[in-house]
Amino acid sequence: MDDEIGLILPLHGAVFAEALAGARAADEAGLAAVWVPDTLMNSGRPRAGVLACEPVLAAAAAVVRRARLGTLVLSTPFRHPPLLAKQLATLESLVPGRLRVGLGAGGMTYRETCRELGYPLLPPLDRVAHVEETVACLRALWSDEPADFEGRFCEAHRVRMHPRPERPIPIVLAARRRRMLALTARVADGWNCPLPHELAQGLEALETLGRPRDTLEVSVYAIGVLGESEADAKRALQRAGPAAQLFGDVESHHVFGGPERAAECIARLHRQGATHVALDPRGRPLGEWLDLLVREVLPRLGAPG
């Protein structure tokens, strides 16, 4: 079961060394993946800051020896696709066969990020189109030589990309709404469900759109609030603060509770169709959280603690 659990590195208010220590610890603990989120600002605590995705991912690639690495998820409207193709190809050369590229259309902080950083505000249809074009550009530049690409948002001419991925890098799309789910059904290698309580209906929608679930890697994002007991978990949830509830009620829909309850939350997501659960640790220091996960929760899933 540990092959199906990953860690989302906490980057809000984090020190770079702490993020890398967390990546190394997750790898050594036997988790399947280390995921790096992409948030360009800390809306709740601006002075606490937030680390940028790409530098953390590159540094993690140097210290994670076994686990998969990936973005969960990179917002394409803030990236130039040909340059992103080069950056990701370089990262793939550091961790051959272990990179996963999670992409999305901007998330809940999209408008605020555009306003602060001066990006053009794309309407929803164009944001989906940008994701689709990014996927097409990445695959063209990773496979053709020389590569040409021309789209609405970018173009590239006679690109000879080296290092070149020796095998296709899997692309995972985060999707909730029908247009992004339809794009996922058409072009993605995997689907990331951003809200656990929407997992079953998302899988049904993908099948209706012509994409059987057994042809996709299915990951689900879940906040993880763990405790030595139920009372301890409730205290951790209080420490996590209101931001933890932005993705739905934590106690009802995410991974919450003492060891038995938390393990059952993970098992339930697997039963509903997730092949991978990406946990976002909240409510206690990362080292303490990882120790609790490995020592108390994973053994209840049949994983070695």
Nearest to 162 by CA among 141, 138, 137, 135: 141
Q: What is the pLDDT along the chain (305 residues), one digit of tens a residue?
A: 344 999 999 998 888 999 999 999 999 999 999 999 998 887 777 777 899 999 999 999 999 999 999 999 999 999 999 999 999 999 999 999 999 999 999 988 899 999 999 999 999 999 999 999 999 999 999 998 999 999 999 999 999 999 999 999 999 999 999 999 999 999 999 999 999 999 999 999 999 999 998 999 999 999 999 999 999 999 999 999 998 998 999 999 999 999 999 999 999 999 999 999 999 999 999 999 999 999 999 999 975 44
- 11, with CB counted inside 10 A (0-12, 13-18, 19+), is buried
Residues 6+ apart with CB under 8 A from 196: 220, 221, 222, 248, 253, 254, 269
Residues 6+ apart with CB under 8 A from 123: none
How many Cβ atoms are within 10 Å of 239's Cβ, its own excluded? 11
Whole-angstrom distance, CA of residue 199 vs CA of residue 184: 14
Task: Decide: 74 and 53 in contact? Cβ < 8 Å.
Answer: yes
Structural domains of the chain, ranges and CATH numbers in brackets: 2-301 (3.20.20.30)
Task: Decide: 74 and 38 in contact? Cβ < 8 Å.
Answer: yes
Nearest to 256 by CA among 284, 296, 286, 222: 222
How many Cβ atoms are within 10 Å of 26's Cβ, its own excluded? 28
